[in-house]
Structure 1
Amino acid sequence: MEQDFLQQLRYLGFTARIKRLNERIVSSTVSHYSNLNIDIEPNWHVIFLLLKERGKLTVTDIANTLGFSHPAMIKITRKMKQRGYLNMSKDSKDGRKTLIQLSQKGYRKLPTYEQEWNRIQEVLEEFVGNDFLNQLNELEGKLLDQGFSERYLKKFGNSNSESVFSIRNAYPSEFNAIGKLMVQVYGGLEGFPKADEQPDYYQKLADIGSFTQNPDAELLVATSNSGSLLGGVLYFGDMKFYGSGGTAPSEKNASGFRLLAVDPSTRGLGIGKALSIACINKAKKKGHPQVIIHSTAYMKPAIRMYKGLGFVRSKDLDFSQNGLEVYGYRLNLK
């Protein structure tokens, strides 16, 4: 029997084999559900089970919990609503948010579906096995810790001089360009409030250079060898000028940084991490025992990076910005 070509490619055939495997399982599941007259599609079970456990969630909550894209979750939940499995309603506390929950039909069908999913799980266990699941967990963890681009550059470097960057304080002549980059990056975040929803916030982004008028506030930038702006971040050696809601501005003997942004075309090169480390080093030089930052549910890659640097959740720093939940983090430098 001729050897499978994708197997011959070994690691170069890895992603294609994963895609092929997924297509085969999805196709088999579609046929299985059809034979049993079960009116659902593959992967809907994760939505059913998540909503059974959590009750009401937004599309963003679902996407963030499962690690799927926001558009993909919108498509699936709309289909499930059309089939009568979901109800959608406006959040009484924030009219911009739509809450999703199982409908009466969803709850009524759930016991039957769960019985079938348990059977499917038993069949999958025959050819998947715990070893494979453990290796999959390890693989996902490695990719979250450090992506392909960062690993490639660490191993081989890059001959393209545009990908080599340095960190320095921004020049006043660059403030407008950095502000435009900030608006572009934050406005492009999936699910994040847009300029018409939070105009004051976006005005701060556009005028980011004005923060440097405060004592101990610095605007750091990453630039390529040719001088192109690749990213920026605000560092605060005095939290009094941090400018956020909540209790962070009243923190003493601490540094902070916020409004980190990296040009989307250069992501994966470690620029955001380098900017963060530059701020941490400034805090160490000042002798501060901690660094304070904030993030949101729409910034999952950044949160993973912060956690990798040692930041931990600090709920006492949380606040709400016109309905947007903002989460606080601390890094202990002692």
Structure 2
Amino acid sequence: MNKDFLPELRHLGFTARIKRLNEKIVSSTIDHYTGLNLKIEPNWHVIFLLLKQRGRLTVTEIANALGFSHPAMIKITRKMKGQGYLETFKDEKDGRKTLIQLSKKGKKALPALEKEWDRIQEVLKEVVKDDFLEKLTQLEQELHKKSFKERYSKRFNPEKHDKTFIIRNAKSSEFKEIGALMVSVYSKLEGFPKVHEQPQYYNALANIGDFTKKPDSELLIAVSPSGEILGGVLYFGDMQYYGSGGTATLEKNASGFRLLAVSNSARGLGVGKALSKTCIANAKKKGHKQVIIHTTDFMKIAWGMYEKLGFKSSKDLDFKQGNLQVYGFRLKLK
């Protein structure tokens, strides 16, 4: 047998080894299911078990619970439905929302499948030790906290964001371009309502410059040396003009910021963080005691960034924008 080259590469061979290992396990599992005459595929078990526990879910909710992409979940659930294991129906409260649950066939097959998955788990325990699973969890958590791109930038270009962009107030001549950027970013968020679903919201994004007509409101942008607009955010020094649903506009002695967007070309440069920090700095200059923001399940990257900056979930600020659940956060200032 030829000597395995990938281990020689150490960390450079890591992702290739993970991919190779996954392919071997998937191939072997397919052969195993075929031998048992089971018409299921590898990883379908996670859908079965999730729906057993939670009943009815949308594709987006399944994707969020498992950490997989929305398109991948659509592909898997369609295959499972094709085999008769799942059924779909429209939500009675929201006809635009499709719910997924185990079908009668799926529920009937589940006990036998669970028995087989228990056996598979016993076999995997022989080669996958508990400490490996713990290290895998730690790896996932570390990469969730800070991506590879962010880590690379910090190590080799620690001041890169300072050299590649500045934060300033937008000019009126830039409002249209910023609005187009906002619409582009938000409409491409996986699972987020699209233009035809919330036209008023997207109209507000397209005309984001109109917010600056309100007292103590600023449209802040990140601009590259060449003049390219990399991202933007709305800062409100007076919460009565914040413009969101819920009770946020009633908050006193507080600043807020909304509609943070970063272009795809600027991801990993720290633009979102820099814009957020500028808003926080503005609030401190005003002597405010807190900063208010909102986010959704479809903005997990930004959500994680806000938590790192010290924002804490505040359920009293939560509200619904149509059928979209919006979550409120507070940052207490010293």
Q: TM-score range by the shorter chain?
A: over 0.9
Is contact 2:237-2:283 (8 Å) kept? yes
Shift of residue 78, structure 1, vs aligned partner: 0.7
Aligned-residue identity in percent: 68
1:200 matched to which residue of 2?
200
Shift of residue 157, structure 1, vs aligned partner: 1.0
CA distance in 2, matches of 1:159, 1:309: 19
Q: Does 1:150 align with 2:140?
A: no
Q: Which runs of 4+ in 1 moved over 6 A?
A: 158-163
CA distance in 2, matches of 1:147, 1:61: 23
Shift of residue 332, structure 1, vs aligned partner: 2.0
Shift of residue 159, structure 1, vs aligned partner: 10
Alignment of 1:1-334 (within 5 A): 2-157=2-157, 164-334=164-334
Q: Deviations over 1:192-234 (max 9, x none)?
A: 1111211111110011111111112111111111111000000
Is contact 1:179-1:207 (8 Å) kept? yes
CA distance in 2, matches of 1:262, 1:204: 17
Shift of residue 163, structure 1, vs aligned partner: 7.3
CA distance in 2, matches of 1:299, 1:131: 32
Is contact 2:183-2:206 (8 Å) kept? yes
CA distance in 1, matches of 2:299, 2:188: 11
TM-score by length of 1: 0.96
Q: Deviations over 1:174-198 (max 9, x none)?
A: 1111011001111111121111211
CA distance in 2, matches of 1:291, 1:161: 24
Is contact 2:161-2:269 (8 Å) kept? no
CA distance in 1, matches of 2:284, 2:20: 49
Q: Deviations over 1:127-185 (max 9, x none)?
A: 11111111111111111111111111111118999971121111121111101100111
Is contact 1:294-1:326 (8 Å) kept? yes
TM-score by length of 2: 0.96
RMSD: 1.7
Shift of residue 237, structure 1, vs aligned partner: 1.2
Is contact 2:63-2:70 (8 Å) kept? yes
Specify every segment of 5 or more residues in structure 1 that has no aligned partner in the other structure, as ranges: none
Query: Alignment partner of 1:9: what SS?
Result: helix
Shift of residue 264, structure 1, vs aligned partner: 1.0
* Farther off after superposition, 319-328 or 44-53: 319-328
CA distance in 2, matches of 1:115, 1:275: 52
Residue type at the aligned position of 1:150: E
Specify every segment of 5 or more residues in structure 2 that has no aligned partner in the other structure, as ranges: none
CA distance in 2, matches of 1:162, 1:250: 36
